[in-house]
Amino acid sequence: MGIHYVEFEDDSGVLRRYRKHPNGRGLVATTAKVDATAFVHPTAYVDPGAQVLRNAEIGPGAWIDRDAIVAERAVIGVNAHVGRGAIIGRNALLGPFAEIGVGARVQNGARVPRETTLADGDEYRASNDDLRRLGLAA
């Protein structure tokens, strides 16, 4: 069985090629790097230059924009959007419909509530409860 590609034209008129990720069948740009242990839901997208690391989960309808990084064991919720160049830390959780701005950062272990919008360049910090959940706070 060969590799099948899907092609889309972006806003600039450039044709972009995506393939289905083996774990979940979500669409991953050919220039994105998604670890084999990551799960990409069939209705999710990972754009060019993005990275999704070990055991991360990309939920239904989620979109990982260009050059964004989703670290180990992070969970991206339903219809959440990780903006261009944003970084989602290890064990972080984005709730449904969360919007993470361009170049924004979500700290390791942070839980971003549903429908939260993080502005471009902002940082979302983990609370003491978030850190306790991971066994990292006293």
38-80 pLDDT, tens per residue? 999 999 999 999 999 999 999 999 999 999 999 999 999 999 9
**Regarding predicted confidence, which is higher, 52 or 130?**
52
Per the model's pLDDT, the better-predicted residue between 79 and 134 turns out to be: 79
Q: Is the pLDDT of residue 1 over 50?
A: no
Between 1-5, 22-26, 98-102, 115-119, the lowest mean confidence (pLDDT) is in 1-5
Q: What is the mean pLDDT of the chain?
A: 92
Work out the average pLDDT over 90-119: 97
Mean pLDDT over 83-92 rounds to: 97
Tell me what pLDDT residue 3 has: 61
pLDDT for the residue numbered 4: 75
- Please give the single-letter amino acid code of residue 116: T
> For position 5, what pLDDT does the model report?
80
**Residue 2 pLDDT class (50, 70, 90 cuts):** low
Domains annotated for the chain, with CATH where assigned, are 5-133 (2.160.10.10)
